Amino acid sequence: MPEHEMQPAFVLVRPQMGENIGAAARAMWNFGLERMRLVSPRDGWPNPRAVAMASGAGRLLDQAELCETLDAAIGDLTHVLATTARPRDLTREVLTPEQAMQRMRGIIADGGRPGILFGPERAGLENADIAAADALVSVPVNPRFGSLNLAQSVLLLAYEWGRLSDLAPPAQRGEGAQQDVLGRASKAEIKALSEHYEEELEQAGFFFPPDKAASMRLNLRAMWGRLPLSSADVRMLHGMLRQLVRRKG
Amino acid sequence: MPEHEMQPAFVLVRPQMGENIGAAARAMWNFGLERMRLVSPRDGWPNPRAVAMASGAGRLLDQAELCETLDAAIGDLTHVLATTARPRDLTREVLTPEQAMQRMRGIIADGGRPGILFGPERAGLENADIAAADALVSVPVNPRFGSLNLAQSVLLLAYEWGRLSDLAPPAQRGEGAQQDVLGRASKAEIKALSEHYEEELEQAGFFFPPDKAASMRLNLRAMWGRLPLSSADVRMLHGMLRQLVRRKG
């Protein structure tokens, strides 16, 4: 099965502004999704405003499947979810984006072909559109303020797909964390640093008065031991100390 | 504690377009977030384009804290995360949005005051901005295509905040962890410490040769910014430095 068939189709139903179609394409491609379908876009197709907005994700528009009716757009799908701002149809299950994308993964793993519907900018999906859906998806927003636009809804759903994806390599995370661990100073380096400071501070009369000296030393060692210093930090801290005490001579 | 103080501050650093500030406010308010701070917005403040775009979330703009410098904007915070598209600073931990918001919840539960930085539209945060951050946040996007704009980044972080709000409050932490967070130095304390060291090291001729001085200073600031220092650590480090340089006299 080609990789793109292991993704849900994102179906924009009667989208109005070309800009929003382009922005939706960008939002999808940020998270590796590339199967867009368009049902009867208001301003016809292709749409130069969509192309201009999609820059970098234009391929999704070129490959988008254009359909006259919603039935045609979802005919080959086995499962359909419908996004809605305010779930009105209480007979239908309402999923969070996370639940929706988990379900889509399960469907695909079982050999199904899922899709998700997004309504027109102003009014959203009509009851007739929703009739074909197995369940609804709604982003839980502030009850006092919900103002997600089409491209933002697509973005959040696509983000959830990416978040749950084991396929998409979270490259940044791995590299940084690994580097952090690799660059971490050894306990021997920390000990040498701690001793260097303790020695010079002793010379400078820092551990005073005498009855507090022991606990001051302990605090200092505890601080060096607790801080996540890299080997480079340790070298810099040695160099700083050497330079600070050199002045005295 | 007022409800809004139990939220992370969203700090927009040198934002350019008023429209994006307004869109960021809407994105935040969708998920109940209302603590916005603005560092030196390019087109001044207030900005009518921001107001027009924010419709419905205008209150966030009215109440936004306007700051001239990043230091002023984060001075009272105990923990700062910095968003970045391509993590360059490999010495710093890189979190996903989910990890970032989980951490912020834990910090707030422990009495800390966290914030999250968003850079200007074109270039993102500079290394000097990132120096004060405890860790980075990066949305894992398609390695072949990453095109999130400012308001979209804000939206995804705000969404993660909202998503985790539905879950149970963060697990109880040990006494030690709580003590650690409560004692955490504010960013203003860290800045003063950093300046104290920089000044004395300057006097001591540490920043040499001249062509390396700028990067040495940045490394030093980045180290102070990254280390989880307590207020007690900071006092000790000030005291150590004073004592070390006193000898010379």
> Is A159 touching B (CB cutoff 8 A)?
yes
DSSP code of residue A113 = -
* Cα separation of the two ends of chain A: 75
**What average pLDDT score do residues B38-45 get?**
97
Q: Could you tell me which chain B residue has the CA closest to the CA of A172? A: B87
Instruction: State the Cα–Cα distance between residues B144 and B35, nearest whole angstrom.
Output: 34
Give the CA count within 13 Å in the CB-facing half-sphere of A28.
30
Tell whether the model's pLDDT for residue A174 goes beyond 50: no
Helix, strand, or coil here: A13? Answer: strand
| pLDDT above 70 coverage of chain B, percent | 89
B239 vs chain A: nearest CA distance in angstroms? Answer: 8
pLDDT at B88: 67
pLDDT at B170: 35
Sheet holding B79-83, edge to edge: B65-67, B36-39, B9-13, B114-118, B79-83, B135-137, B94-95
> Is A127 touching B (CB cutoff 8 A)?
no
Mean pLDDT of chain A: 87
In chain B, residues with a C-beta closer than 8 Å to the C-beta of A162 are 140-142
> Is B59 touching A (CB cutoff 8 A)?
no
| pLDDT above 70 coverage of chain A, percent | 88
pLDDT at B49: 97
Pairs of CB atoms within 8 A across A/B = 164
> Is A219 touching B (CB cutoff 8 A)?
yes
pLDDT at A223: 87
More confident residue, A167 or B218: B218
One-letter amino acid at B207 equals F
Name the band, by pLDDT with cuts 50, 70 and 90, for residue A3: low
Instruction: State the Cα–Cα distance between residues A97 and A241, nearest whole angstrom.
Output: 54
More confident residue, B165 or A107: A107
Q: What is the ipTM of this complex?
A: 0.79
Instruction: Decide if A31 contacts B146 (C-beta within 8 A).
Output: no
Instruction: Please tell me the pTM assigned to this model.
Output: 0.82
A68 vs chain B: nearest CA distance in angstroms? Answer: 30
Q: Which of B150, B127, B137, B105 is nearest to A176 (CA)?
A: B137
Give residue-wise pLDDT tens across range A17-28: 999 999 999 999
Select from B96, B197, B201 the Cβ nearest to the Cβ of A170: B96
More confident residue, A77 or B16: B16
A215 vs chain B: nearest CA distance in angstroms? Answer: 12
B185 to B13, B130, B242: CA distances (angstroms): 22, 17, 19
pLDDT at B4: 64
One-letter amino acid at A245 equals V
More confident residue, A125 or B183: A125
pLDDT at A67: 96
pLDDT at A185: 77
One-letter amino acid at A187 equals K
In the structure, how many helices (H) and strands (E) does chain B have? 11, 7
Q: Could you tell me which chain B residue has the CA closest to the CA of A33? A: B142
> Is B75 touching A (CB cutoff 8 A)?
no
> Is A240 touching B (CB cutoff 8 A)?
yes
Select from A26, A27, A163 the Cβ nearest to the Cβ of B98: A163
Mean pLDDT of chain B: 88
3-state secondary structure B149-201: CHHHHHHHHHHHHHHHHCCCCCCCCCHHHHHHHHCECCHHHHHHHHHHHHHHH
Tell whether the model's pLDDT for residue A87 goes beyond 90: no
Q: Could you tell me which chain B residue has the CA closest to the CA of A246? A: B204
Interchain contact, A227 vs B228, CB within 8 Å: yes
Task: Provide the chain B residues 28-57 that lie in CB contact (below 8 A) with chain A.
Answer: 29-32, 56-57
Tell whether the model's pLDDT for residue A186 goes beyond 60: yes
Give residue-wise pLDDT tens across range A7-53: 999 999 999 999 999 999 999 999 999 999 999 999 999 999 999 99
Instruction: Decide if A139 contacts A79 (C-beta within 8 A).
Output: no
**What average pLDDT score do residues B115-138 get?**
92
- Token pair, residue A241, equals 């100390």
Between β-strands B65-67 and B114-118, what pairing exists: parallel, antiparallel or unpaired?
Answer: unpaired
pLDDT at A175: 38
A102 to A171, B166, B226: CA distances (angstroms): 22, 17, 36
